[in-house]
Structure 1
Amino acid sequence: MTSHDFLAERFEGHRPHLRAVAYRMLGSLAEAEDAVQEAWLRLARSDSDDIDNLGGWLTTVVGRVCLDVLRARKARREESLEERLPDPVVGREERTDPEQQVLLADSVGLALLVVLESLSPAERLAFVLHDMFGLPFEQIGPIVDRTPATAKKLASRARQRVRGAAPSPDPDPVEQRKVVDAFLAAARGGDFEALVSVLDPDVVLRADGGALTNGLKVVRGVEAVAGRLSTFQRMATGTDTRPALVNGLAGLVNTVDGRPFSVMSFTVSGGRIAAIDILSDPDRLARLDLADH
């Protein structure tokens, strides 16, 4: 084995972690892959013998690449992920591959990723790297060109904004699935009262149909969301609906004639559905790996 092959093998061992970091930073699977690939290119050009902690070095590089991407988004005033749903990570409940397991860990749901998009690039990096991955502020500070103390303040500000902004999902996946099954039964039966009974009073529905619907539509409150019963019924009865894990939470993949129609994620909190996120943008669905779902 050549030294290059050995380095590549070591890098591959870190790839799932790096992809998880980049995904939480960017909310885009494609951009996360690009950030990880950039880390590999920089590693291949570097003197790896001088790197004492390869995992820490790679995480730092990915963090800097993601920070540049976030800053570029802001500078170009691109459509933010508040105006479109983040890319969902979809897995089967009974099995997921190791890389999906890392991405799905800790139930980082779409609702939380939407909140993260409201943070500044530096706040998001400090929060993701420290609160989600446990990096010390001594390592985070140089990435954002701040002192460790300032990086700690960035994470604290982000934490305050995140706290309460996204519902905390119930931890039991079996109970989550029971609530989603009840939602599906109510939708199929057109049962308004049954639907209301499984929805949190402050439920939020986010639906992203892409260009077909001019981007993200947001509906808030149990009456407004339950008022979409006819839409839910058409979706539940007009598609082949299969259970799935979506960002670690109970979800559904809906297909028509074998083609993806939508991916639905449910945040179940306190035994009721607090958030529903629906991606039905055909262009983005086509880029997801939904072959086995």
Structure 2
Amino acid sequence: MISTRKKGEWLYLSIPSEWEGLSIASILKEKWNVPKTLLHHYRMNKSVKLNGEIISWSTFVKGKDSLQLHLFTNEEFGVIPEYKEVDVLFEDDHLLVVNKPAGMDTHPNETGQIGTLANAIAFYLQSQGIQTKVRHIHRLDKDTTGAVLFAKNKLVGAILDKMLENREIKRTYIALVQGRIKPAKGKIDAAIGKDRHHPTRRRVSPNGQKAISGYKVLEYLPKRDITVVELELQTGRTHQIRVHLSHIGHPILGDILYGGRDDIARQALHAVKIRFIHPISGEYIESVAPFTDDPAVFPGH
């Protein structure tokens, strides 16, 4: 694990032994995969120092060196701060994982919109004296609950975006579906595209984007003819879990758009866990989102 500390607007990072002999440029480009536009910004603004000095990025680092990066600069939130309770699952200087409630968009879909999780995060950051853009790394549908990851600076946002693209951020979901799923463990590999007949609906389509969902049955509730199933995404398509479960004949309970029964108020889908390697410290992070609301939707869980 890499030792770091925040000091004002700067991050101080102690060079770990495995980085000895690397150049500053190699650390930025290869260890962190910093995008070219951000690298250019760092060069132009002299945002990288070694042992307190601005030196060439071709310089090789040593074990006792201290790398400094100007990460924590003030930015516009990008959304209107609005007070709402925020259920924080994990937080440090770089990122934030929160448990999203039902009936709330992850982010505004139009300028000036309020009532979203992003608005609440902006207020939460503002209350701590942090002025940074609200960067959601992924999103959940309005009625889906559970863990959502946010980055608190440009660098971490860029690294996490790349990690998500490379499937290095693992997300686990729990769903209640209609009927009994067989076999009890499997993989749904079916491309997903837009439904030409519905503006928001998606469908399985051979011409769509590749989509893979792994699943495992946790429990079958015979009285309600419902299966409790755990799912892990290998891709991140819009409505992926909802489309895939409907495609195999087991729509999510309450998901009317994809053929689910309407005997509960919302779709019974919860993002229960997110895990990844911390983009700066290298620490393994696992955040579990408890079922904090709708006990009727997830009985006994």
Give yes or no for TM over 0.5. no
Structure having the higher helix fraction is 1
TM-score, with length taken from structure 2: 0.26
So what's the TM-score if we normalise by structure 1? 0.26
* Bigger Cα Rg: 2
Higher RCO structure (Cα 8 Å, ≥6 apart): 1
Between Structure 1 and Structure 2, which shows a larger proportion of strand residues?
2
